[in-house]
Amino acid sequence: MEGGVGVGVGVGVGVGGGGPNSPRTVEEVFRDFKSRRSALLKALTTDVDAFYQQCDPEKENLCLYGHPYGSWEVNLPVEEVPPELPEPALGINFARDGMPQNDWLSLVAVHSDAWLLAVAFYFAARLRFNKNDRKRLFQMVNDLPTVFEVVSGNVKKPSQEKSTAAPASNNKSKSSTKSESQTKSSKIASPKDDEEESGGEEEDDEQGATLCGACGDNYANDEFWICCDICEKWFHGKCVKITPARAEHIKQYKCPACSNKRARV
């Protein structure tokens, strides 16, 4: 993954303003945003070891790219000026060994958020979205937790209006789904469940706000989730590469971030 040619092809051709796969509507630009965001989250969470190793401070200025087909890449910036798309932060590798790893990851996450917005509104400008379309695009983007919030563990709770969109019956079924069909027994319910069995709507709203610690998306009944025994965050099984069958044999589950933290202490 070294050299500018590969990035020039992967980032410029086919995903710019005029390629055959270019987004053309608000929904398509948002879909492009979500795919790039998922790729960046993967680099900074589940694939953090590989990402860390590729950001060698001895190499030249490196950037972190999230591709619209869901993969990430650490590479040199494109040589084309101006580039087909806005470029990510340059030289992220230089600060890698100069600060605590979590601080460095958070810094990269902040710049990744800025890049994602730049790409989305580059498309909005190039496609000549009107005021209402730009507003709608921003609202769709703003409804998702930022990369920084997910990486730093500071995912904000959805607004009251947002949290009431999920029926209370779905919230109630969360604990039973996790305990009965997901086979992860060490962390079946949140501490709130034990302390406030009769907590009513307040407890339902709290549970309904559960977000995946890797991708930041909401809980869904038909998805397998697993809880980290260290940081007590919930994750989609697919985001941390854990299947229900594998979970049966795990006595104490540690998410990638906690595993990596322990390894470097």
**pLDDT tens digit sequence for 1-19:** 433 333 333 333 333 344 5
E strand or H helix at 75, and its extent?
A: strand 72-75
Which residues make Cβ contacts (< 8 Å) with residue 170, sequence separation at least 6? 208, 221
Q: Please report the DSSP string for 126-194 in residue order.
A: HTT--HHHHHHHHHHHHTSPPHHHHHHT-PPPPPHHHHTTS-HHHHHHHHHHHHHTS---SS-S-HHHH
Cβ count near 124 (within 10 Å): 18
pLDDT tens by residue, 95-130: 999 999 999 999 999 999 999 999 999 999 999 999
- Taking alpha carbons only, the member of 61, 143, 84, 149 closest to residue 112 is 149
Give 156's pLDDT tier (boundaries 50, 70, 90): low
Specify whether the CB–CB gap between 239 and 214 falls below 8 A: yes
- Taking alpha carbons only, the member of 85, 158, 71, 81 closest to residue 120 is 85
- Copy the structure tokens of residue 9: 């092809």
Residue 193 confidence (pLDDT) above 60: no
User: What pTM does this model have?
Assistant: 0.57
Question: Mean per-residue pLDDT for 142-157?
Answer: 85
Average pLDDT over all residues of the chain: 75
Q: Which of 166-180, 224-238, 251-265 has the lowest mean pLDDT?
A: 166-180
Q: Tell me, what's the pLDDT at 51?
A: 96
